[in-house]
Amino acid sequence: MLSLLLNASALAARNETPSRVAMLRMAEQTRRESVRRSAMAASGYEQLLMSGTERLSAHYQGGLRWETLSRLWNAAAAMGLLPAALLR
């Protein structure tokens, strides 16, 4: 009786195994595709951030800044080198 039950359970397991393996393979393929899409999106954001940081770095390495120009303008006005009409 026991061997009959064992054989029956073995036959039942044989029919389910291929479909379970197929489901696992499909899930793995879906996950890989998701990871691939996420990597592509992350690469786009990374390139965007890198170009922004490069531009900021170039800006702060540049010569004359707006703050410096404003200080020079105010200093020239304080010394009377600029006419009062330009200051308004």
pTM for the predicted model, two decimal places: 0.46
Domain of residue 30 covers 2-63
Contacts of 23 (CB under 8 A, 6+ apart): none
The whole-angstrom separation of Cα 60 and Cα 68 is 12
Residue 13 lies in a domain: yes
Domain presence at residue 79: no
DSSP letter string, 18-64: HHHHHHHHHHHHHHHHHHHHHHHHHHHHHHHHHHHHHHHHHHHHSS-
Does 74 fall in a domain?
no
Provide the token pair at 14: 């044989």
What integer pLDDT is reported at residue 31 of this predicted model? 96
Instruction: Domain count for the chain, please give it.
Output: 1
With respect to residue 35, please indicate whether it lies within any of the assigned structural domains: yes
Residue ranges of the chain with per-residue pLDDT less than 70: 82-88
